Structure 1
Amino acid sequence: MSNLHARDYQPDRQGTLDGIRVLDLSRLFAGNVLTQLLGDFGAEVIKIEPPEGDTLRGWKTEGIETHWKIYARNKKSLCLSLRDPRAIEIIRKLVPSAQILVESFRPGVLEKMGLSPDALLALNPSLVVVRISGWGQDGPYAQRPGFGTVIEGVSGFAAINGFADREPVLPPMYLADGVAGLYGASAAMIALREAEMKGRGQVIDLSLLDPLFAILGPQAANYRLTGKVKPRTGSRSTNSAPRNVYRCSDGHYVSLSGSIQKMTERLFRAIGRAELIDDPRFRTNSDRLRHAEELDAIIGAFIGERTQQENVAFFEEAEVTIGPIYDTPQIMADPHVIAREVIADYPDPEMGHIPMHHVVPRFAQTPGSIRTPAPALGQHNRELLAEIGISPAAYDELKLAGVICGG
């Protein structure tokens, strides 16, 4: 096992959201991020999976469902064939006991299943229904496939990501889905507050496009003001200089920022170039932005003579904002990451222990917890269906008919 903290699951731990039941019909990443966050803080998340399981189960590394193990923690699995009307009836019977329902079908599919928002709210008037889609429930693109890759292009993210002389760069992870999942969790809590105060549920139309565009800053406002499109600048900033990634003598990299005037002046003194403080090319932030290439050459030459570790130690001593560019092994070995338990090792039958991110964010009085590992497909079928009056004999009959799967 690694040098990360070894933790055990805490099945009896309660969280702030204890008593909140979430029916999760979503697939892939955004919905799983959303409900994992709710589950970490005590919600009972019932993952309703198709016979083949949530698509996230198929994202394997060396044959192991690492994505599923992390993002399905603190969840229960109920496996149903939703093409069968009897499975839809089971969902109908679960809806009155839930506070939140999350789905990510293409717009209109929920309605075709007989589970339209109106139908759901008729069963449970205080239900919060989170509808995740690529483009939203309406608009000209509503029926288009909405994978995050496409959204990351249309949102404007890819256009400003990368270097000016290269093609736009998509993120190497699930950025649109992850951002939507975080927005979705906060939206669900806001709507739940309304439901608790007024007994009135509602539908949340959560596209992948809206949240990602929202975090890109004042792109539209800046364009209207200047008539110019923000260029790709690599790791440089269009707002402040210096700010870049610099190569060290050992082939590793550091990131450095002088986003306030005093920090830049401190940097110039530290590298023995105090005269640059009054150099007309670098006197103000605006000056530095116009001469960023020259500035980077000066800083890069200094950094290039030292190893990553030497650079970090030197600039930290000078109180200049710097940090190493880490790969995954370096992150896992970092003393701050270990001390803060950013990652912890949890028991796993296939890996011995699996490292996963700890509960985020950190609450002083009511911290979240990792209570249970990700469930096997249909692991909680009998438990959950017994709640709605399905007897063992009826369960076996539904299982034989293929209405209930897994378990």
Structure 2
Amino acid sequence: MPTDSSASAGPLADLRVVEMAQLIAGPFCGQLLGDFGAEVIKLEPPGTGDPMRQWGREKPHGRSLWWPIIARNKKSVTCDLRTPEGQDLARRLVDQADIVVENLRPGTLERWGLGFDRLRETNPGLVMVRVTGFGQTGPYAPRAGYGSIGEAMGGLRHVTGDPGSPPSRTGISLGDSLAGLFAALGALAAVNGRRRTGRGQVVDSAIYEAVLAMMESLLPEWEVAGYQRERTGPVLPNVAPSNVYPAKDGEMVLIAANQDTVFKRLAAVMDHPELSTDDRYATHAARGHNMAELDELISGWTASFGVEELLARLHDGGVPAGRIYTARDMFADPHFAAREAIIRLVHPELGELPMHNVFPRLGETPGTVRALGPLLGEHNTEIYGDLLGLGEKERAALAECGVI
């Protein structure tokens, strides 16, 4: 296992991860572990690599802008897991690892002789993280599962969008990312459990369950109260005021003043303190019942100010409010800059490349972005040569027959 446990290397610097995953859900788990210092060795098919190397709408110089982020802090080795030789290399790597991350369809690794029961024979402390659409068990386990399907099955799609439109997506791969996030949490929980038991275990992260975990009180609302959540656009039913309101210059501002004390502040900022004692708006329930009327009243007030003056008044009055940011807004915002929420690394072809920093922030052993997504097979010599001890001729022979 890696031995660099210094604070500068990150709190997970003593962990080695073998990533047998591609696309988003599994690799996002690997990204999170790598962000906090784990050595992440990513196995990729020779010649093609992870499809994420090609994904993304914009490709300056023919390069994905997504790959440098999701593969940051990782080491790339090529390995054809469909061959006996590749499977042997993978087993040798796993023997020296703490965690394996994979997101293949259930049963695939078992067919290749890389199932958990086989791998734990020589590495009893191994933690195997398995990220799939529907989990490792149950009638749907064999199905192909993508993030969008998990979002639909987990309930997110049904409640996303405007009431008069079909279910919408959020604009990011939220289901995949949630599954990867829960996978990383499970991996660290299993590693901590290993400290007590000496044994590893399987972490089963299903996309639909990761989404379901975010659905608040949706289930008891239906069974206990007979209420089914629906799409509500920018508002939450019976929670007011919490909406997007217009400014005079055409910009939109989100105001969230649904708590009684905060609504009192908003009423004062609006120079109508009597609203907070009006029976129609004095309580949370009353404001929810009269949501449309209240939103119209607030919109009339906000539309009389430019966005800067409006926000200044709201912030000075202690009312939660803000613009709906785009990337341009993030780059220009002094708070992002002060907290270094956006960092920049130099890519050999793309030049200076901005991306989000490592979150959450640890006070003593923070995570870091040490390297951008690697070239395909960039670390073959380091991993196969230095770590596994394969000589140059042996590596050349494996490359010649397409194994690496």
Using the size of structure 1 for normalisation, the TM-score is 0.94
* 2:344 counterpart residue number: 345
1:225 Cα deviation from its structure 2 partner? 2.0
Instruction: Report deviation, 1:15.
Output: 1.6
Question: What is residue 402 of structure 1 aligned with on the other side?
Answer: 402
Kept in 2, the 8 Å contact 1:252–1:325? The answer is: no
Which residues of 2 match residues 261-340 of structure 1 at below 5 A? Answer: 261-340=260-339
Check 1:353–1:153 CA distance in 2 against 1; reply closer, same or farther (3 A cut): same
* Secondary structure, counterpart of 1:123 in structure 2: coil
Contact 1:92–1:123, Cα closer than 8 Å, also in 2: no
Matched, 1:55 2:51: yes
Shift of 1:169: 1.4
> In structure 2, what is the Cα distance between the partners aligned to 1:291 and 1:15?
51
Query: What does 1:43-122 align with in structure 2 at a 5 Å threshold?
Result: 43-51=38-46, 52-60=48-56, 61-62=58-59, 63-122=62-121
Identity of aligned residues (%): 39
Deviation of the 1:249 alpha carbon: 2.1
Aligned to 1:175: 174
**Conservation of the 8 A alpha-carbon contact between 2:133 and 2:150:** yes
Q: Distance in 2 between matches of 1:58 and 1:123?
A: 36
Secondary structure of residue in 1 paired with 2:263: helix
Tell me how far apart the structure 1 counterparts of residues 122 and 249 of structure 2 sit (CA, whole Å).
64
1:4 match: none
> Which residue is 2:3 aligned to?
none
Relative distance call for 1:338 and 1:401 in structure 2 (3 A) is same
How do 1:2-401 and structure 2 match up within 5 A?
Answer: 13-51=8-46, 52-60=48-56, 61-62=58-59, 63-238=62-237, 240-386=239-385, 387-401=387-401
Q: Which whole-Å CA distance do the structure 2 matches of 1:259 and 1:123 have between them?
A: 57
Query: For residue 18 of structure 1, what is the amino acid of its counterpart?
Result: A
Show structure 1 runs of 5+ residues with no match. Answer: 1-10
State the secondary structure of the residue aligned to 2:311: helix
User: What's the CA shift for 1:331?
Assistant: 1.0
Tell me the distance in 1 between the aligned counterparts of 2:132 and 2:14. Answer: 27
Q: Give me the whole-angstrom Cα distance separating, in 2, the residues matched to 1:53 and 1:249.
A: 51
The worse-fitting range, judged by mean Cα deviation, of 379-388 and 125-134 is 379-388
Bigger mean CA offset, 195-204 vs 395-404: 195-204
Distance 2:112 2:246 in 1: 55
Farther-moved stretch of structure 1 (279-288 vs 335-344): 279-288
Higher RCO (CA-CA < 8 Å; seq separation 6+)? 1
**Aligned partners of 2:81 and 2:90 also within 8 Å:** no
Deviation (angstroms), 1:50: 1.1
Aligned residue identity for 1:85: P
Structure 1 residue 13, shift from structure 2 partner:
4.2
Contact 2:127 2:201 in 1 (8 A): yes
**Aligned partner of residue 28 in structure 1, secondary structure:** coil
* Structure 1 residue ranges, 4+ long, deviating more than 6 angstroms after superposition: none
What SS does structure 2 have at the residue aligned with 1:226? coil
- Alpha-carbon distance in 1 for matches of 2:7, 2:80: 31
Deviation at 1:28, TM superposition (A): 1.0
- Deviation, 1:66, is 1.2
* Distance across 2 between alignment mates of 1:236 and 1:196: 46
Q: Distance in 1 between matches of 2:14 and 2:173?
A: 30
Q: Give the CA deviation at 1:158.
A: 1.3
C-alpha deviations, 1:208-237, integer Å up to 9, x for none?
A: 111111111011011122111012211112
Q: Distance in 1 between matches of 2:235 and 2:164?
A: 14
Query: For 2:381 and 2:344, how far apart are their aligned partners in 1?
Result: 30
The farther-off stretch of 59-68 and 88-97 is: 59-68
Could you list the runs of 5+ residues in structure 2 that have no partner in the other structure? 1-5
How far apart, in 2, do the equivalents of 1:134 and 1:114 lie? 22
Q: How big is each residue's C-alpha offset from its partner over 1:308-350, in whole Å with a ceiling of 9 and x where there is no partner? A: 2221111111111111111110111100001110001111112
- The DSSP-based 3-state class of the residue aligned with 2:220 is helix
Structure 1 counterpart of 2:181, which letter? L
Q: Determine the C-alpha separation between the residues in 1 that align with 2:160 and 2:304.
A: 29
Q: Counterpart amino acid of 2:50?
A: D
Given that 2:7 and 2:365 are in contact with CA atoms closer than 8 Å, whether structure 1 keeps it comes out as: no
Rounded to whole Å, the distance in 1 between the matches of 2:97 and 2:393 is 26
Which letter does structure 1 place at the counterpart of 2:241?
Answer: P
Task: Check whether the contact 1:153–1:170 (CA below 8 A) recurs between aligned residues.
Answer: no
- Partner of 2:42, secondary structure, is strand
Deviation readout 1:128-183 (Å, 9 max, x if unpaired): 00010001111121122211111111111111112222222111101011111111
